[in-house]
Structure 1
Amino acid sequence: MNWVCDNQQAINDILFYSQNIGVALGLLFGYIGDMYGRRPQQLLCLVAHVASRLLIFLAPDVVVLFILAESLVSAVAGPMLESALAVGLELTDVRYRTTVNRYASCSMATGMMATGLVAWVMPNWTYCLSFATVSCLALLLFFSWFPESPRWLACRGRQQETMRLLRRIAATNGTTVPPLALSVVRTLGKSKTDRRGFLSLFSSRNVFKNSVLLIIARSVYLLTMFSPVLAVSSLSVNPFLTVAAQGGAQFVSYCVANFCASRVGRRWSGVAAPLLAAIASGVIFCMLTVDIAGPALVAMIMVMQFSTTISFSVANLQSVEVHPTCLRQIAACVEWAIAGVAMSALPYLALMKDKRQPFAVLTALNLATALAVSFLPESALQRLPETLQDAALFGKERPYWSWKPKPPPEYTAEQCGSSEPS
């Protein structure tokens, strides 16, 4: 529409307002996930995606409705991902959490590649958005297979529903529920007395610190990931191929991220990734200074996206693993919400007149992030915290200069987690 194509400021304003409105709505979706369940949260997120696309179809030339539609997508993107990932990790033994995360992450990379290619094949925005709408409707067809989290049910004191779901899962896998499952479910049910809601983030210094560090990681990830996407039009490269290439780089980086996270742990993988992003961003700054463009520039952007995607994948794992079940979705949505506020600065950062400046800023931000996330606790091969008390103590006894993660002694004694409810 002319109010976008002929007015560069309109793009900045639309992204700014949609991100900030999405922040408030995103907090609501996160609250629903912890208070009413992962399943209702996932359904509402899918419906919001479809509604936002239909809203744009009905009134594409009305700026207010366009902003509202974009706000819905901004609000539900994080909660939709986190609810699906949380259920997957909450159903999984400690040995296989990185595997589940890899499947989810590689699917997002495939979607990123499809975004660039579909937009290239369907340059008409109506057809492109129609494809996105049909994709969301297809997910609704499979929603009946999306389970509630047994851990969440147990932490809410709903023992009968938890055992019924565990028996269904066991039957699907051709096995039976372990004898100790009921006693574990009853133990988890004690956490139903924990304080609920957003104030739980302040329940202990450890919980608050971990949340702040993850907010920093997510904020810098968003800025680093999407700045080249917006700035690409000024870098003399094909925007569709560049987006598809970034998706390809993400696919590889997700595999590398999960390999490193399982071998050397989440913490040092999370430190190395922003350090590499800072180096790549600094090299791009130098290349633009001497006017180097074309394939070499695209290659460095892919390196930056590669390392940034590792940060994203590791941060997702850490967010699920360091927060307790009763706070997992609220904490993730608060992290995404505040990162969304930082994201509102994206158009003003990416579309600076001096095309070198965004990369100078990103270099400094990634260096600061590498230092910050080094203070997160190592969560590989550790049991998920269930209560606020568990989260308050999680990782506090481990030294800063620890290296390869090791399972706790009780995990080995129980023969690889046979007493876990899942």
Structure 2
Amino acid sequence: MAAQTLFTFAQVFSTSWIVFVLLLFVNGLGQISNFVAALVLGAEVLTGNVRVLYSSMGTCLGFAVGYMLLPVVAYFLRDWKSLLMALSIPALAYIPLWWLLPESPRWLLSQGRVEEAEAIIRKAAQWNKVQAPRVIFENYSVKETKAYKEPNSMLDILRHSSIRTTTLILCLVSFTMTTGYYSLSFNTAQLHDDPYISCFISAVVEVPAYVSSWIALRYLPRRLSVTSTLILGSVPLFMIQLVPQNLFGLSLALEMVGKYAFTTGASLMFAYTTELYPTSLRNTATGTTTTVSRMGSCITPFLLSLGAYFNHLPYITIGTLAVATAFAALLLPESFKQPLPETIQQMHEREMYVLHVL
């Protein structure tokens, strides 16, 4: 958050377009790192339905609210420097979070810091007015957890064959969801003649998608939800080819259905990914899949430029990719109504069970 705030503020004093873009690049690093870290922290601190609510509605709906506020603020602050100042200064209000937000007890345990984890749990019990047991983590000792401290680098998610397969499929699914989301989002100029209203409408469309993701995470198996959103996102893109050119409104409606599906799926993937990996790899794996997914947003302008050769080629490409990815998603482990894995061994056993069933 510090990096995001600092470099947003620094952009105000840019002396050239090159400097502005370089600062924006570092700003983006801070923004997505902040998003992923907050997602994983909430997933590890919270439990049950509250965790599902936070991982979907909490993070993603918060993103949609910020998305809606952006064109509203920009409408009244037409100067780009004033807009950047307005975006950076409120972030100072989040400085107290350093002292208010607890560290993840799961992560502390994985690092052998048992006493710190117990202190956080006791404080949570005090806040909730419940009596904590005398010994909370009776099966842990500082000496044992340090002796069996699990690896947590990006190479470790590729070392085991089953975990490597899961990671690659998750990267593919996240890449497809993000590519579809940004490809359809970049067409928001067609929603309204006024770009501010157009941007606002595009943000509002995402609200029901995030609500849908929460409902799906609450009541439906993960693989079914992810596969269904991929198919739902692809079907409207194939149907657009059949719409006559004079029915522009129908084509736009089909695009919005596709965006709704990919937005729902992208939100599902954030929660799904955190549920599959053990504590030692959760942050690394979520960051890895997010990084790969952002490659989808990078290629989006080039993908849309294919429309210059054939008008429907971008839609066909995204739709075909979504269908292929839907079949690959069926190979992912299921995490619905299952506790978060704490160790690599627990994740490995879950994946072996899925492969055996298949």
TM-score, normalised on structure 2? Answer: 0.89
SS in 2 for 1:174: coil
Distance 2:268 2:321 in 1: 18
Pairwise CA distance, 1:230: 2.6
Equivalent residue number for residue 98 of structure 1: 52
Equivalent residue number for residue 183 of structure 2: 227
Pairwise CA distance, 1:273: 0.6
Equivalent residue number for residue 215 of structure 2: 259
Q: Following superposition of structure 1 onto structure 2, how do residues 5-24 of structure 1 map, counting pairs within 5 Å?
A: none
Deviations 1:274-299 (A, max 9, x none): 11111122234444x62433x54443
Shift of the 306–345 alpha-carbon distance from structure 1 to 2, 3 Å rule, reads same
Equivalent residue number for residue 366 of structure 1: 322
Equivalent residue number for residue 376 of structure 1: 332
Gaps of 5+ in 1: 1-45, 403-422
Equivalent residue number for residue 108 of structure 1: 63
Distance 1:178 1:95 in 2: 23
Q: Following superposition of structure 1 onto structure 2, how do residues 268-307 of structure 1 map, counting pairs within 5 Å?
A: 268-287=224-243, 290-293=245-248, 295-307=249-261
SS in 1 for 2:333: coil
1:336 aligns with 2:286: no
1:196 aligns with 2:158: no
1:129 aligns with 2:118: no
Q: Following superposition of structure 1 onto structure 2, how do residues 69-218 of structure 1 map, counting pairs within 5 Å?
A: 69-101=23-55, 102-178=57-133, 181-186=136-141, 189=145, 192-218=148-174
SS in 2 for 1:273: helix
SS in 1 for 2:95: helix
Question: Aligned AA for 1:346?
Answer: T
Pairwise CA distance, 1:401: 8.1
Pairwise CA distance, 1:190: 6.4
Shift of the 303–242 alpha-carbon distance from structure 1 to 2, 3 Å rule, reads farther
Gaps of 5+ in 2: none
Distance 2:348 2:320 in 1: 31
Shift of the 393–60 alpha-carbon distance from structure 1 to 2, 3 Å rule, reads farther
Pairwise CA distance, 1:238: 4.0
SS in 2 for 1:182: coil
Distance 1:237 1:286 in 2: 25
Deviations 1:323-377 (A, max 9, x none): 1100111111111222223332122123445353322221112112211212111
TM-score, normalised on structure 1? Answer: 0.76
Equivalent residue number for residue 27 of structure 1: none
Pairwise CA distance, 1:215: 0.8
Answer whether contact 1:250 1:309 (CA < 8 A) is retained. Answer: yes
Pairwise CA distance, 1:237: 4.7
Answer whether contact 1:50 1:133 (CA < 8 A) is retained. Answer: yes
Deviations 1:2-39 (A, max 9, x none): xxxxxxxxxxxxxxxxxxxxxxxxxxxxxxxxxxxxxx
Bigger CA drift: 304-313 or 65-74? 65-74
Pairwise CA distance, 1:83: 1.5
Distance 2:69 2:8 in 1: 18
Equivalent residue number for residue 346 of structure 2: 390
SS in 2 for 1:259: helix
Answer whether contact 1:257 1:310 (CA < 8 A) is retained. Answer: yes
Question: Aligned AA for 2:229?
Answer: A
Distance 2:58 2:152 in 1: 31
The answer to which structure, 1 or 2, has the higher relative contact order (CA under 8 A, 6+ apart) is 1
1:322 aligns with 2:240: no
Question: Aligned AA for 1:334?
Answer: T
Shift of the 341–218 alpha-carbon distance from structure 1 to 2, 3 Å rule, reads same
Report the aligned-residue RMSD: 2.6
Question: Aligned AA for 2:29?
Answer: A
Distance 1:327 1:344 in 2: 26
Distance 1:325 1:91 in 2: 11
Shift of the 191–339 alpha-carbon distance from structure 1 to 2, 3 Å rule, reads farther
State the identity as a percent.
20
Answer whether contact 1:245 1:302 (CA < 8 A) is retained. Answer: no
Question: Aligned AA for 1:100?
Answer: Y
Shift of the 207–150 alpha-carbon distance from structure 1 to 2, 3 Å rule, reads same
Shift of the 191–274 alpha-carbon distance from structure 1 to 2, 3 Å rule, reads farther
Answer whether contact 1:79 1:329 (CA < 8 A) is retained. Answer: no
